[in-house]
Structure 1
């Protein structure tokens, strides 16, 4: 009976310590103005989001697991304006090598002057101004 109790205790400790890692999230918000759509395209080593569109005052995101390798690096292109001529390329998520992160939030807010960035619960800061294809 003591061996059974010990075995059950070891199993309970193993599964308690080995809890699941929450997914990380990239969120994109459109605050460009009424009638202006934001287009984004994100990719990492394994995944390609394709072109996605966000209407005014809406938000959308990507949830993923960080592997702690270069494949967890997410690059995103954001576009808006007439014929999508205004753009920004950002490294939306940069992994810490050999140390997977859990439950991280990266929020990018598109406004007419620039793209703003917020990590987890920290305040929003201007990241980059828009570039033009012309």
Structure 2
């Protein structure tokens, strides 16, 4: 009888862990924006996925801010953002800040975008930043 109880317990734990999957212990993904445009220059960004809109946010020089979200693999998020700077927000760029992979959730991903006068620099996870987008006018 004890063996039957132990066997049933093992089966229950196995199916519960299968149901939960990796996603319950999954760290949140993060999109970070940094302003390195120079003293007195503000950076503006607005991001959205299919359900969530971050609203317009402003960053002063050397400030950083971001968005944290969960990628479940079933309800994945394609995050699109509009980045702007300049007195009349003359300089801008539309980017796809986070591209999901269907049925393959990713955990603890970092996407960092740094606004500099010459371009928008991108850094993924622990890699060094690279110039990715030139500003449009």
TM-score (norm 1): 0.87
Aligned equivalents of 2:119 and 2:75: distance in 1?
A: 28
SS of 1:131's partner is coil
Q: 24-33 vs 8-17, which deviates more?
A: 8-17
Aligned equivalents of 1:89 and 1:125: distance in 2?
A: 17
Contact conserved, 1:44 with 1:71, CA < 8 A, in 2? no
Question: Structure 2 matches for 1:18-57, cutoff 5 A?
Answer: 18-19=21-22, 20=24, 21-57=26-62
Aligned equivalents of 1:10 and 1:70: distance in 2?
A: 28
Contact conserved, 2:46 with 2:54, CA < 8 A, in 1? yes
- Mark the CA change 1:33 to 1:100 in structure 2 (over 3 Å): closer, same or farther: same
Provide the aligned C-alpha RMSD in A: 2.0
Q: 2:85 — aligned with what?
A: 80
Aligned equivalents of 2:16 and 2:62: distance in 1?
A: 42
- Mark the CA change 1:45 to 1:7 in structure 2 (over 3 Å): closer, same or farther: same
Q: Deviations over 1:102-126 (max 9, x none)?
A: 1111000010100000010011100
TM-score (norm 2): 0.85
Aligned equivalents of 1:33 and 1:10: distance in 2?
A: 60
Number of aligned residue pairs: give it. 132
